Amino acid sequence: MFDIDNSLLKLLSYAVSKDPISLDNNIVWDSLFNTSAHQGVIGIVINSLQAYMTEIPTYKPFAKETASDKLKRMQWIGNVVAFERLYAKHENAMAELAHLYASKGIRMMVLKGYGLSLDWSVPNHRPVGDLDIYNFGKWREADALVAKTCGIRIDDGHEHHTVFNYNGLSVENHYDFINTKAHRDAPKIEAILKVLAEKDCREIEIQGSKIYLPSADFNAIFLIRHMGQHFAGEHLNLRQVLDWGFFVRAHHKEVDWNATIDFLKEIGIYTFFNQINAICVDYLGFSESCFPTIERNKDLEERILMDILHPEFAEEKPVSGFIPVLTFKFRRWWHNRWKHPLVYKEWLLPMFLTLLWSHLRRWKTIKD
């Protein structure tokens, strides 16, 4: 592990736990900024650094900074301000969209991003991207309402959600929570998630609009599966692992861990689940008391962490061209084959054929 990795993990651990750490005065700030940006944790890292400098007044990391270093630090702060503005824009769009749906008796659940940010110590310093929503089975009516009322074009060329742009925000309106065509166990997982989505969902209010958030039991399965898909298929970053850690810390008493663990074992993702929990505790400062008993595999835990920090497959996806993109995806899939048994309970050849067929059904998704 590189020095910059240690510095980053120390700052994240300090942000989570406030347990004492010791930082090097010779941190290469440009490298820390770039690594934090790549991992989606710029906001929480700068919060942690500011808190550390307040607690340890003798720590003056910027005393000898160059003009270039200062410019980079200002860019860092500028990024956080941009996060705050985007977060406010996200909230406004959510409130307006939920209000529009409610006018026709349609409920709106928000998945992942915004709901998870509420468990962070500074919610608007967690980056938000697309808005993922679920309309409790009324997605067709919801899309028709948006198209008719707002004159917005709905893109239905994706496998388990439609896509539209609402006030500059990309919205993914899910009729399924996961792609049920990509893996053989996906229909079983989707069926469980559909049941859990209707049970014990939380209600919050934003600018007078009622918005629903998934239950803890739903997220305990959905988030691990979603992380696993990113890990095995593309790449996983520290922001996603922090999402999981903050979720568990906030809601561990609400999760039926016995039922959740039984299901995770059934679908073959239990080992991955344990190593993510171990990373949260061993490297990110979360208390082990919040997690179910962790079955560690130290070598595997460290390999997963290193792959998060420095992906073993690090090629950039081609920007265009059907054949180059398809070739790239096959190389990535093949290189990541060591990850597949940690996430999916499938043999490689049937898995490949199922994935290929799911893309051929909607061939435009190959470029995604």
SS3 annotation, 77-122: HHHHHHHHHHHHHHHHHHHHHHHHHHCCCCCCEEECHHHHHCCCCC
Q: Considering the chain, what percentage of its residues have pLDDT values greater than 70?
A: 92
Among 135-139, 177-181, 270-274, the minimum mean pLDDT is found in 177-181
Report the C-alpha gap between 317 and 250 in whole angstroms: 36
Q: Considering the chain, what percentage of its residues have pLDDT values greater than 90?
A: 58
CA dihedral 164, 170, 175, 177 (to 10 degrees): 160
Count CA atoms closer than 13 A to 266's CA, side-chain side. 13
Mean pLDDT over 218-234 rounds to: 94
Report the C-alpha gap between 219 and 226 in whole angstroms: 10
- pLDDT score at 228: 95
Q: Between 261 and 75, name the one with better pLDDT.
A: 261
Report the C-alpha gap between 103 and 352 in whole angstroms: 44
What is the phi/psi pair of residue 132, to 5°? -100, 125
Q: How confident is the model at residue 367 (pLDDT cuts 50, 70, 90)?
A: low
Mean predicted lDDT score pLDDT of the chain: 88
Residue 224 has pLDDT above 80, yes or no: yes
Q: Between 43 and 3, name the one with better pLDDT.
A: 43
Rounded to 5 degrees, what angle do the CA atoms 267, 237, 277 make?
50
What is the phi/psi pair of residue 26, to 5°? -105, 30
Residue with tokens 């120390």: 10
Q: Are the C-beta atoms of residues 327 and 366 closer than 8 Å to each other? A: no
Report the C-alpha gap between 203 and 212 in whole angstroms: 5
Residue 269 CB coordination number (10 Å) = 26
Residue 357 has pLDDT above 70, yes or no: no
Q: How confident is the model at residue 346 (pLDDT cuts 50, 70, 90)?
A: confident
The secondary structure of 27-56 as a DSSP string is: --HHHHHHHHHHHT-HHHHHHHHHHHHHH-
Residue 49 has pLDDT above 80, yes or no: yes
Q: Between 25 and 273, name the one with better pLDDT.
A: 273
Residue 193 has pLDDT above 90, yes or no: yes
Q: How confident is the model at residue 236 (pLDDT cuts 50, 70, 90)?
A: very high
Among 129-138, 155-164, 190-199, 263-272, the minimum mean pLDDT is found in 155-164
Q: How confident is the model at residue 203 (pLDDT cuts 50, 70, 90)?
A: very high
89-114 confidence digits (pLDDT tens): 999 999 999 999 999 999 999 999 89
Mean pLDDT over 309-325 rounds to: 83
Mean pLDDT over 271-289 rounds to: 97
Please enumerate in sequence order all residues whose Cβ is within 8 A of that of 255, keeping only pairs 6 or more positions apart, or say none: 216, 217, 220, 248
Residue 135 has pLDDT above 90, yes or no: yes
- pLDDT score at 296: 94
Q: How confident is the model at residue 362 (pLDDT cuts 50, 70, 90)?
A: low
- pLDDT score at 350: 66
- pLDDT score at 234: 83
